[in-house]
Amino acid sequence: MFQSVITGVGYYVPEHVVKNEDLIQYMDTSDEWIRERTGIEERRYAHRTQETTTTMAVEASKKAIEHAGLTTVDIDFIVFATLSPDYYFPGCGVLLQRALKMKEIGALDVRNQCSGFVYALSVADQFIKSGMYKNILVVGSEKHSFGLDFSTRGRNISVIFGDGAGAAVLQASDSTERGVLSTHLHSNGDEAEILAMYNPGTHANYWKDTPFANFDEAEIGQMFMSHSMIDHAQNFPYMDGQSVFKTAVVKFPEVIMEALNHNHLQPSDINLLIPHQANLRIAQFVQKKLKLRDDQVYNNIQRYGNTTAASIPIALAEAWEQGKIKEGDLVCLAAFGSGFTWGSALIRW
Ligand code: ACO
């Protein structure tokens, strides 16, 4: 059996920096509220017309492929995680394949929101371990700024999210010392509606309890997009932040411990934990719970906000660039998000 080794990482964030103060012109909020509740100081927004989820992924991918010492034609599979695709369909994987002028390889889109990159990495890991592919490009990219409610009504969500992309190249290796040790994936749909974007969708009021998706009977039949959906701001994400927070602080430590126990390791063995950058307060809670030192946890949400599927690969590439990950280090990735879905990956770098 092959081992999958991450041989290249790369990230891209748009140039446009949006500070907390900049949001005050659109909504009733404050730098103090945002910093105190989330730790976020600023985020990046993609250019409205010149950049998309895929174009950002292209930039991150080029860096990851170059770092791996490969060219785009060497890649034999793409796994692309995003919740903000360029089109409703087809997915971003094929757009990336086209933009990078790759061979006619398989391109899989993963829809697991904040856990998207960990799910994508796990899929790629299985394909490599089984011997099916040798060089897989795993990408997380998001252009949230295009789909947020910038009025006061949407402030509990819109202040949190930012745009960006991160990528990693996984390669088959004979190494017995390095590589992805294990991945652990979970879901529980009981609370699927508390962090969700219901529209456009086919639910047509089927899930009656959704706080935000009750349409006139007359409109059903043209459900994907309707005037009243837009008039009632039902085309934006919904989040019950406190419930998300409460579940996240349980599931993050649980899934990290699952990975460590599976490999007979302890929290003290972790050289770097990269949690999905949901909220700095969640990451600090997890750090405390696992008794990790500051230098064992990497956070950059202060500068980029929550970039969902892109947050882990951006942080991974940035931490590597800063010399915080060295060969032989034990790196733990952990994510939790909408679904709920959650997961972890333990990597010997
Ligand atoms: N600026 C100012 N006031 C605000 C803002 C804002 N941006 N957003 C909400 N408020 C107000 C509310 O209206 C409310 O006012 P009220 O008391 O007068 O009614 C008050 O602040 C408290 O609102 P809550 O929603 O209860 O605020 P909470 O303390 O829960 O903080 C937050 C909100 C930051 C979203 C928090 O619940 C949280 O971080 N939850 C975790 C969710 C998360 O991380 N989501 C990321 C996506 S999912 C993921 O990545 C895992």
Q: What is the pLDDT of residues 147-180, one digit of tens each?
A: 999 999 999 999 999 999 999 999 999 998 899 9
What is the CB neighbour count within 10 angstroms for residue 71? 12
Sequence-distant (6+) residues with CB within 8 A of 136 are 4, 75, 76, 77, 78, 79, 124, 127, 128, 169, 170, 171
pTM value > 0.75? yes
Could you tell me the distance, in angstroms and rounded to a whole number, from the CA of residue 242 to the centre of ligand 1? 7
* CA 272 vs CA 163, 299, 324, 347: distances in Å: 24, 10, 8, 10
Q: What is the pLDDT of residues 56-98, one digit of tens each?
A: 999 999 999 999 999 999 999 999 999 999 999 999 999 999 9
- pLDDT tens-digit series, residues 296-321: 999 999 999 999 999 999 999 999 99
- Write out the DSSP string of 89-114: SS-HHHHHHHHTT--S-EEEEE--GG
Amino acid identity, residue 258?
E
If you measure from the C-alpha of residue 157 to the centroid of ligand 1, how many angstroms do you get, rounded to a whole number?
7
Task: Label residue 144 exposed, middle or buried (CB < 10 Å: 0-12, 13-18, 19+).
Answer: buried
Q: Are 248 and 336 in contact (CB under 8 A)?
A: yes
Query: CB of 37 closer than 6 A to ligand 1?
Result: yes
Catalytic residues: 114, 276, 306
| Closest by Cα among 349, 298, 292, 337 to 319 | 298
Sign of CA dihedral 220, 149, 231, 212: positive
Q: Kindly indicate the confidence band of residue 229, based on its pLDDT and cuts at 50, 70 and 90.
A: confident
Q: Choose the residue to mutate in 37, 82, 194 for probing ligand 1, maximizing ligand atoms within 8 Å of C-beta.
A: 37
What pLDDT does 189 receive? 96
Residue 285 beta carbon below 6 angstroms from any ligand 1 atom: no
Identify the DSSP state of 25: G
What is the whole-number distance in angstroms between the Cα of residue 156 and the centre of ligand 1? 5
Structure tokens, 108:
């899989």
Give percent of the chain above pLDDT 90. 88
Q: Is 336 in the pocket of ligand 1 (CB under 6 A)?
A: yes
Q: What six digits make up the tokens of 326?
A: 């060295």
Per-residue confidence at 219, pLDDT binned at 50, 70, 90? low
245 lines ligand 1 (CB under 6 A): yes
Domain edges within the chain: 3-173
Atom of ligand 1 nearest to the CA of 245: 41
User: Which one has a higher pLDDT value, 8 or 218?
Assistant: 8
Give residues with Cβ within 8 angstroms of 56, minimum separation 6: 12, 13, 14, 46, 141, 143, 163, 164, 165, 310
Dist. CA 205–CA 228, nearest whole Å: 14
pLDDT of 336: 98
Q: What CATH code is assigned to 3-173?
A: 3.40.47.10
Least-confidence region, from 201-215, 239-253, 285-299: 201-215
**Does the Cβ of 124 fall within 6 Å of ligand 1?**
no
> What single letter denotes the amino acid at residue 204?
A
Residue 201 has pLDDT above 90, yes or no: no
Closest protein CA for atom 37 of ligand 1: 241
Helix (H) / strand (E) element for 80: namely strand 77-81
Q: From ligand 1's centre to the CA of 152, what distance in Å?
A: 12
β-pair type (77-81, 238-239): unpaired
Q: Which DSSP letter does residue 161 get?
A: B
The tens digit of pLDDT for each residue in 107-127 reads 999 999 999 999 999 999 999
CB 298 within 8 A of CB 324: yes
pLDDT of residue 208: 65
**Cα–Cα distance for residue pair 79/169, rounded to 1 Å:** 10
